[in-house]
Amino acid sequence: MLRKTLRLFGWLGTGILILVVTAFVALSNSEALQDRLVAVGVQNNVAAGLVDDWGGDNLEVAFCGTASPMGNGPRAQQCVAVFAGDKFFIVDAGARSAARANEIGLPMGRLSGVLLTHFHSDHISALGEMHLASWVRGRPSKLDVYGGPGINQVVDGFNMAYGLDYGYRVAHHGMAVLPPAHAGLRAHAIDAPETGSVTIYEEDGLKISAFTVPHPPITPAYGYRFDYRGRSVVISGDTKKSNRLAAAAQNADVLIHEVLQPQLVKAITDALDAAEVDALSKLLTDTLDYHTTPVEAAEIANAANVDTLVFNHFAPPPANAIAARIFMRGVKDVRPQGAVMSDDGMRITLPPKTGDAPSIIEISSN
């Protein structure tokens, strides 16, 4: 009797499964259902993209690109977004960073300006896409772009290359949607001293300072410091180990520092040498003398009395957990705590400093 009952339940279960599969196939082939599922998905995505909880009283950072050109994998190239109040700046705009900024929900229509540390291609190549992403979202003026000597050449070049595109889009969509007065990049030249720093922006409680870093043969190359409501974030730019950077980052809450891992670079160049890819091997070998190792970055963070050190602009980007461990070799010996690795989509929130209360640093992933 028990055996017959179990057999009956088995047949019932099989029948129900067949009915469920048949219904699923039928519904999946229904154009009405397909349209409904797409509409719901798109509505949810649009609604999520319209949420803007960035900045306000906080100083905030979002990573819209953490890779160097040395093999990006899923990461976009260098891009760091900084929010303070209603202000929103992007530092550098490497390849795919505009797409990544949209993916992580940055409010591109609020973009106040782009700060360039220097003019290597992996720091400027998405400028045109940043322009479009913010223009179509309602940026209220031309896109301000800040950088050292040569910024006018870079901005003029992008405006020339994208000039036809600006015209096409205005003609197609209309001046009410895409005002031509808001099209294009506007250059702001920075002349920072050899030592110390210079204030390049100060408005509504936000102060941005620029300082020089050694990245030869590029002269000058810059880093930037953001101060807002008692909190501070410093972005190193590309640099060798630098006492100038340590001075500019004194007592900062967060130091975002580029890093190159020599052992991983050597593994790549050894493989290229074995394959007789000589030119690329030399190019990668040449990077060793104008970047900073993770241990050196930890030493700079200690010298600057920084609360949190964030590794960024990885050369090469760590492709797995083993490579990530190699990046962190020796770091704890120098800096036992307060050192983390960034990734695309990471968000750092610094609430305003209040009296003698401990400073809070919140780190989350997208």
Query: For residue range 258-294, what is the model confidence (pLDDT) as tens digits?
Result: 999 999 999 999 999 999 999 999 988 989 889 999 9
Q: What is the pTM of this model?
A: 0.89
What three-state secondary structure class fits 195?
coil
Cβ 228 vs Cβ 259: under 8 Å: no
Which helix H or strand E contains 164, and what residues bound it? helix 151-173
- Out of 3.40.1800.10, 3.90.79.10, 3.40.50.720, 3.60.15.10, the CATH code matching 53-364 is 3.60.15.10
Cβ 113 vs Cβ 83: under 8 Å: no
Closest alpha carbon to 93 in 116, 61, 110: 116
For residue range 47-63, list pLDDT tens digits in order: 666 677 898 999 999 99
Token reading at 214: 């050694």
From the candidates 92, 122, 227, 253, give the one annotated as an active-site residue: 122
Q: What residues does 188 pair with on adjacent strands?
A: 146
Per-residue pLDDT band for 9 (boundaries 50, 70, 90) equals: low
122 is an active site residue: yes
Domain positions in the chain are: 2-34, 53-364
